[in-house]
Every structure is written in C-alpha cells, then in structure tokens.
Structure 1
Amino acid sequence: MKLNPLALLAGCLLSGLAVASPTPADFASRVPLEVSGNGPWYRLQLPIDVLFAARNGDLRDLRVFNADGEALPYSLRTTSASEKLVRSEVQARIFPLRGRSGSAAADSVKVVRSTAGTILEITPAAPAPDKQEVLRGWLLETGAGDLPLDRLQLDWTADADGFQRLRIEASDDLEHWRSLGEGQLARLDFNGQRIEQNDIALPGESARYLRLWWESPEQAAQLVGATLSGSRSSTGPIPMLWSEPLAAKAGAQGEFSWSLPLALPVERVRIPLEQANTLAPVMLSGRRDGNVQWTPLARGVLYRLPGEGGEITQEELTLPGTAVSQLRLQPDSRGGGLGGLTANLSVGVRATEVVFLARGGEPYQLAIGSTAVADGSLPLGTLVPGFDAKRLSGMGEARLKGALQTRNAAAPTVEAKSDGRWKRYGLWALLLAGVALLGLMAVSLLRGDRQQG
C-alpha cells in the first residue's frame, strides 16, 4: 500500500502539536517534599489544605516532580480502617482426670457444671476391682472460650525425665469433643545440660474446654499451671482529615449553609455547640455546584447536656460519603435551634495517601491545582510490582516541607509567563515550518504530474 506523503506529514504535525508533558509551572500550588527511610518508593499522606487546593475532588490534577521538573510515577491510595493482631493470654483452670490404666478419656470422669457452664466438680469413675486408678490427664477451662488458641504452655513435673506424649481435644459443652492433634513435652538432663519442651502449638481454634490425655506414658505429669494464648484481630478507626471550622451563612428560615472550595466526598461533619443545655434535632442536606435540588444526607440530634462527671456532647453527624460542594443544616424549631446566631462546621474526609517512585535528584515537590491535566495516577499494583499490604510499612516516608506556595492563576509568575511564551513560540514555529513543507511538497507533486502529462 502506497502511503500519502501529505497525510503522513499531517500526522507528524498533529503529534508534534500534542499537549506537552506537564511541568511544575502548570499548577497553581506547589510545595517541596522531604523524604526519609527506605526508597525508592515513598508514602505521603495529604493534609486537608492540599485537598482544598485541588481543582478536582478525585485529585487528578496532582503530580510529583523531581529537581529536573520531571513528573514521577505515582499512585493514589485511600486509607481504610487499620487492622492489627492483639496477643492475649488466659490462665486456665486445671482439673485432674483420673482413671484406670487402659481406659479411654470418655469413660473416666463425671463433670458437674453451673448454669453458666463453669466447672464445679469432677468426679472420677469408680475403678474396677482389678484395676488401679492413676492420673491419666487434665481438663482445662479456658474462660469465655472466644480466644483463637494457638499456644499452650504447661508448668509440669514428672517422676522421671524423658518425653511425654499426649492427645489434645477441644469442646464447648463437655459432651462433644473434637481432636486438635497431639503434643509432646520433654525434659532431658545430660552432662550438666538441660533440654525442656513446655510449649505445644495449637491450630488457632477457640474452645471453652481442652482435654489433655496422656498416651505415653499412661501416667500423666503433674501440672502446676497452664497458660493459653492467642491473637485477636483488632480494627482501628478510619483515618480522617478534618478541615478548619467554616463559617456559615444564615438563612431566613433558621437554616445554615456552607460552601466548600470543591466537591469532596464528605463522610463526617462536626458542628460545635456554643451554649450549654442545647438539644437540636437537625437534618443535613448537600448538593454539588450547579444543582438546584438539595439531597438529604443525614438526620440526627446534636446536644450539649449535663451528665454524671461532666457534660455529654454529640456534635458530629455521619454522612454517606457523597461528593458535595455545599451543605445545609436545618434545625427542628421544636428543639430551640443551635443556641446562636451562626454556626461553624468542620468537614471530615477519608485520608488519602500518595505513593510515588523517586527518580532523579532531590528536592522533590508536590504540585496541585490545574484544569488542563488528565489523571496521571497508576494502579498501586502497577507502580509497585508484586505489591501487597505488608510492603507499605517498609516504604520510606515523605512530608511537606513548609506550606503550599500558591500563585494567582490570573497573574502567573514571570517564570510561568516565560515558559508559556516559549511553548507558544515553539508550536507556532513548528506549525509554520510544516505549512512551508506542505507547500513545497504540493509544488513538487504538481510538477511531477505536468511532466507525466
């Protein structure tokens, strides 16, 4: 297929006139960053004033630059509730299990319990005339039985050193038992050296009772104490960013309204009450710029009342996280209002974190506030190959070095003017050169056609 030279040249010109990569001067606000810890990936939690400086609530107009003005690859991450494992220990109540030699665990005891399930008494079964009763094992009461057990530590003594092999079973009602496997204790002395094994690993199941039944030897060791331990998952609060109090505009019907710098996914609001003994049923509504209709977001009761030991207050409302740029609070007149002529409101949004890949020289800088750039963020799994949540804790940290340096978009700096002027000159020069080249090619093609004719 024969390519048309004119079409090819036009395509080159269009690609040359494409929008250039963003530079720091293209953004209304900038701030230097300082980094610490292990790179090359760094985490930066954005303060609320950075969010307010954006032109878009999804932060598509955010970039991170190095000292050479090159945009660095980055990803945006909205923080969620933190989870951590909390270790807990339980000192078990211990009860001896006696039975005749060769008997099974189920044949050996009768257990008397309270209505709450706590063991009151354990009565051994009567031994046969030709069988001698021995200590065969131990019953452990773990308490509430809601801790996933992964470790059992025994304080024990025996008539002789050696290995103690036992079977472990679990139950919640002392009637139905399930196996948790086997365990082994050991105490060995040789040449002045001692080896002890007092811990038994458990599979992480919760149980109210454990039964330890000795297999070898049949005579169980004497227990002095038993400690059970496990881990619970604890969920912390969602990290939130709070704005400074925003002044309200009072309405004729007793309502108050506030305008945000841009549409944000607000999840909470805080409205401090100025006067004591205030109780106000309220409805909070929201809308985005250009919408006439208000959408109800939350209903609740704000109060500041006396209580035992001091005041009790409720000054927050939870919202669904819908992006809004305006909020309106309507107090129920039956509650007497908020107790003041005006009201302040702070908005809470979920914290956002930037993860960026450092390249080139420092200092790095964060830039935000542009209506001309598209979203430049990458998925976190693309930015960090093989990413998992554990890698976040090992990344370096970045912090803002000072306050945002904001310039007036209507009066750009000399640097921005100069940079924009040279960009325009370059584009015009490229355009004129392309037009001249097109003219020359057109003349050449016309001459060729005449000669062929």
Structure 2
Amino acid sequence: MGKLSVVAVGMCVTLSAWAQETPADFSTQVAMSVSGEGPWYRLELPLAVQLSARQADLSDVRVFNAAGEPQAYALSRQSPSHTESRDVTPVKWFPLYAADTQENLPGVVMKTTDEGTLVEIKPASVAKPGKQVLRGWVLDASAIKAPLQQLSLDWSHEQDGFQRFSIEASNDLQHWQAWGDGQVARLSFADERVEQHDVSLPGQSARYLRLVWQGQAAPLLTSAMLASATRSSLPLPLVWSQPLAGVRLTAGEYSWQLPTGLNVERLRVELKQPNTLAPVTLLGRSDARQTWQPLSKGLLYRLTQNGKDVMQDQLQLPGQTVAELKLQVDERGGGLGSEAPALRFAVRSTQLVFLARGEPPFTLALGNGAVKAANLPLSTLIPDYSTERLNALGQATLAGEVVLKPSAVAVSPPVGADWKKLGLWAVLLLGVAALGAMAYSLLRKPQGQP
C-alpha cells in the first residue's frame, strides 16, 4: 500500500501546482514600489482599486512577486466602533466681547487655578466707546483628559437660524490651534422643527476651546457639552468618489447606480442652485430584485446668509452594502430640479498589509469573481501586531494607474474548451485509473506471494 500513498501524494502535488493562482487569473494588475523597513509593507488602497474589484469585500485582491508567487497579506478596515469608552461632560463657558462684529478677536486676560481650571476672562485693555458685541465663547475642558470627539451646544430660543463659528484649541491659553469650522442650526420648515446641535471634533486632546462667530454676533449659550472617547484604534479616513450621474424617476425621485456593491458611509449631493432647501429620504438596495430599504433622512440646504453660502449637502449612512440608491425629496421646499443632481459617495479607506517574499517588483492584482478570500488576520500575519507596529511598517505605493472596467460583474468564461480544467480532469482520471489498476493487481496476487 506504500505505492498507493506515493501516487496519491504525487497527484495532490500535481493538482496543487496546476491550480495555483497567477496574475493572469485577474483582470487588473498594477505594479507596486516599496520603501522603508520590511519585510511587511502596507498600502492604502485607492477607491479605484475597490471599484475594480469583482467582490464587494475585496476577496479577489492578491499580491504577487516578480516570479508570480502569491504573497501572504491582510486587510485592515478599522471602523469607529472600536471605541473603548465614551463620556459626555458639561463644561463652563466664558464670553468674549468686542466693539463690533467686524473687529478681530479682542485681547483678553484669562485666569486659571493651579489645576488649569478657567475662572475669569476680562479685557486686556479698556474697552473702546460704543456698543459691545458678543463675539464668541471660551469653553473650559481642563477636567477632560480623553481626546475630544464632539461638541454639543444649545442657545437662546430667541436666536433661531444658522450659527457658524470657527473652533480653536489650546493647552495654555496663549497658543491656539485651528480645529476647523462648526455649524449648528435651529430651523422651522413645513410645520416641522429641525435642530442641529452637534459638531464633530478631530479626536485630539485640549484643555480649552475658543469659539468665534463669523460675521455675526454670537448667541447666548444655555448649554455646552463635550463628548470624549478613548479608542483602541482610530478609524481610517473616508475616501470620496468622483461625481456620479443619476436619473430622474418621477417628480421628486432620483436614483443612482453604483459601480459595484459598496459599504457606503456618507453621501454628498450636489446643490447647484442657491437658496435650495430640501427635506429628503434616502433608500438603498444591493440588488435590483430586492425591495428598497430606508437608509437615512435629513435636510439638505444651500442658503445665502450675510453674503455667504451656508451648506449642508451630506447624509450619513449606516455603512451597509448597497449597489443602488434612491433619493425622495419633499418638493414643498422647491425640490432639486428636473435633472438628477450629481452624487459623490464615501467609503472607509482600506489598508492592505503584505509580507514580502521573493524578489520585487511586486504586483497588486484584482478582478476575479470566482476566487475565495485568501487574506489572513493582521495578528496572524504580524505575530507581535499592535497599532504602533502597524504605523511603523514600510510603505507600498502603486506605480501605475488602475484602469476601471466598464462592468463590475464577473465575466463569464468563453464558450468552448477550457484547457486548464480539461488538463486537471485528465490528470485526475489518469491517477484514479492508475490507483484502480494497482489495487486490482494487489487483490489478484495469491496469498503469501510477495
């Protein structure tokens, strides 16, 4: 029976060699260059790569070396759900006054305790004659040690409308770092009240925040709260698509077909006309045979205020896989026009980490709807894996452009002979015949004959 084992092992080796994947099995190949310390390298996959894949979960992504040998790899999709703890803390606020709304931020003296708690803000010099205008607020976040994720404001009900302000952060009340702009709103529309109180922060630590209203007096605050969170790992950034054309279905209904099924997390709807106000409902589905499922609701607007556009053109999505989107617009606000607006979508960036083996150049290959996933967990690919270790890995970059295919549907094999499959079947049948002949020969031998 030893001969049978040898034959069986030989068959398995032969079949494995024939069935091994090669770059030619994939519709798209892009050369890569590597830099930094190996042998592990990480590549941030461009959105064009994800759109070229034939499988929404990127199961058909591979890496090959110069000899066409596959490389061990992992996919990293860190999401915002990796939050370890989240706290919402009410904070104190202190007013900033100036002579008029056009004046730069006034000079002030700020006093703190030994622990850093803000106790007083007063002008650095005698105020100029004239009416003093409230320009902004300083928030005391000295008691919060975790990174700041979100700011929530409430203000006097006599001051409805949009509130737009700049956000700055400091640890010493002397040096301030810009954290971007914030916008909150309280609106009434079509017998409904729309209120937006929350502003996203960059996830950094700071002891003080300074809010300065732009071109208008600041409202009287009634509440200020800061949400802080400690994360096991920060989420990868979002990557945005190019504008996608849609079609108008009926009055107030528009649809868009995505290049493939994608885990969309955010949408941006193009609002061409000023003074557009549109309550909308977004629906999606992953297949034309499925029923539409609600994904998001919101108020899109582009309004002129103090000579500037105030814009809200984005919708937040749950991140589930969708291939088709439909937007329903309440046309009591005037609608979005007779043509479907252009749409941009955003998905979470994905990093590919591979273990370089063999000689470069390395090739990224994708575009095969039939292959199964071959990626490993990061902790398996990198035995001593940690977030710090991941950030210190060598870098890989694409050395060429990814050519998008016109269809993301797997191409059916051509009608006719598939010589690779025929060869595999021939080897298999010959092996089975050989095994049968050997077994028959052994059974025919008389008892006791060697």
After TM superposition, give the deviation of residue 146 of structure 1 in Å: 2.5
Greater Cα shift, 12-21 or 47-56? 12-21
Distance in 2, matches of 1:397 and 1:63, equals 17
Alignment-derived partner of residue 27 in structure 1: 26
Distance in 2, matches of 1:426 and 1:281, equals 61
After TM superposition, give the deviation of residue 238 of structure 1 in Å: 5.3
Q: 1:441 to 1:4 in 2, by over 3 A?
A: same
Distance in 2, matches of 1:326 and 1:37, equals 41
Distance in 1, matches of 2:405 and 2:299, equals 42
Distance in 1, matches of 2:111 and 2:21, equals 65
Distance in 2, matches of 1:378 and 1:443, equals 44
After TM superposition, give the deviation of residue 51 of structure 1 in Å: 0.5
Alignment-derived partner of residue 342 in structure 1: 340
3-state secondary structure, aligned to 2:49: helix
Alignment-derived partner of residue 38 in structure 1: 37
Alignment-derived partner of residue 58 in structure 2: 59
Alignment-derived partner of residue 146 in structure 1: 143
3-state secondary structure, aligned to 1:377: coil
Alignment-derived partner of residue 380 in structure 1: 378
- Equivalent of residue 262 in structure 1, options 243, 260, 263: 260
Alignment-derived partner of residue 304 in structure 1: 302
Report if aligned partners of 1:274, 1:339 keep a CA contact under 8 Å in 2. Answer: no
Q: 1:449 to 1:258 in 2, by over 3 A?
A: farther
After superposition, give the CA deviation of every residue in 1:329-354 in whole Å (9 maximum; x if it has no partner). Answer: 01112122113422211110010001
Alignment-derived partner of residue 365 in structure 2: 367
3-state secondary structure, aligned to 2:48: helix
Report if aligned partners of 2:51, 2:404 keep a CA contact under 8 Å in 1. Answer: no
Greater Cα shift, 19-28 or 441-450? 441-450
Alignment-mate amino acid for residue 35 of structure 1:
V
Report if aligned partners of 2:280, 2:328 keep a CA contact under 8 Å in 1. Answer: yes
Alignment-derived partner of residue 155 in structure 2: none
Q: 1:270 to 1:10 in 2, by over 3 A?
A: same
Alignment-derived partner of residue 437 in structure 2: 440
Distance in 1, matches of 2:40 and 2:110, equals 45
Distance in 1, matches of 2:271 and 2:319, equals 23
- Equivalent of residue 398 in structure 1, options 378, 388, 396: 396
After TM superposition, give the deviation of residue 393 of structure 1 in Å: 2.6
* TM-score w.r.t. length of structure 1: 0.60
Unmatched runs of 5 consecutive residues or more in structure 1:
84-89, 96-115, 120-142, 150-205, 207-231
Alignment-derived partner of residue 319 in structure 1: 317
Alignment-mate amino acid for residue 242 of structure 1:
W
Alignment-mate amino acid for residue 374 of structure 2:
G
3-state secondary structure, aligned to 2:19: coil
Is 1:277 aligned to residue 261 of structure 2?
no
Alignment-mate amino acid for residue 389 of structure 2:
R
Report if aligned partners of 2:48, 2:404 keep a CA contact under 8 Å in 1. Answer: no
After TM superposition, give the deviation of residue 392 of structure 1 in Å: 2.2
- Equivalent of residue 286 in structure 1, options 278, 284, 287: 284
Q: 1:234 to 1:304 in 2, by over 3 A?
A: farther
Displaced runs of 4 or more, over 3 A:
3-19, 79-83, 90-95, 116-119, 232-238, 405-413, 423-426, 449-452
Q: 1:375 to 1:278 in 2, by over 3 A?
A: same
Alignment-mate amino acid for residue 393 of structure 2:
M
Distance in 1, matches of 2:235 and 2:299, equals 22
Output aligned runs, 1:196-235, within 5 Å.
none
After superposition, give the CA deviation of every residue in 1:371-390 in whole Å (9 maximum; x if it has no partner). Answer: 22211111111111111111
3-state secondary structure, aligned to 1:55: coil
After superposition, give the CA deviation of every residue in 1:22-43 in whole Å (9 maximum; x if it has no partner). Answer: 1111111110001111111111
Distance in 1, matches of 2:337 and 2:405, equals 40
Q: 1:441 to 1:258 in 2, by over 3 A?
A: same
3-state secondary structure, aligned to 1:251: strand
Report if aligned partners of 1:283, 1:299 keep a CA contact under 8 Å in 2. Answer: yes
Distance in 2, matches of 1:368 and 1:276, equals 43
After TM superposition, give the deviation of residue 361 of structure 1 in Å: 1.0
3-state secondary structure, aligned to 2:75: strand
After TM superposition, give the deviation of residue 411 of structure 1 in Å: 10
Distance in 1, matches of 2:404 and 2:331, equals 43
Alignment-mate amino acid for residue 400 of structure 2:
G
Distance in 1, matches of 2:21 and 2:320, equals 30
Q: 1:275 to 1:234 in 2, by over 3 A?
A: farther
Report if aligned partners of 2:78, 2:235 keep a CA contact under 8 Å in 1. Answer: no
Distance in 2, matches of 1:38 and 1:451, equals 65
Higher alpha-carbon Rg: 1
Report if aligned partners of 1:273, 1:339 keep a CA contact under 8 Å in 2. Answer: no
Report if aligned partners of 2:246, 2:341 keep a CA contact under 8 Å in 1. Answer: yes
Q: 1:405 to 1:302 in 2, by over 3 A?
A: closer
Distance in 2, matches of 1:262 and 1:294, equals 17
3-state secondary structure, aligned to 1:267: strand
3-state secondary structure, aligned to 2:282: strand
Distance in 2, matches of 1:237 and 1:63, equals 24
Distance in 2, matches of 1:7 and 1:148, equals 66
3-state secondary structure, aligned to 2:437: helix
Report if aligned partners of 2:248, 2:338 keep a CA contact under 8 Å in 1. Answer: no
Alignment-derived partner of residue 353 in structure 1: 351
Q: 1:390 to 1:410 in 2, by over 3 A?
A: closer
Output aligned runs, 1:92-131, within 5 Å.
none
* TM-score w.r.t. length of structure 2: 0.61
Distance in 2, matches of 1:30 and 1:290, equals 30
After TM superposition, give the deviation of residue 301 of structure 1 in Å: 1.0
Report if aligned partners of 1:30, 1:406 keep a CA contact under 8 Å in 2. Answer: no
After TM superposition, give the deviation of residue 308 of structure 1 in Å: 2.3
After TM superposition, give the deviation of residue 147 of structure 1 in Å: 6.3
3-state secondary structure, aligned to 1:297: strand
After TM superposition, give the deviation of residue 445 of structure 1 in Å: 4.0
Distance in 2, matches of 1:401 and 1:412, equals 30
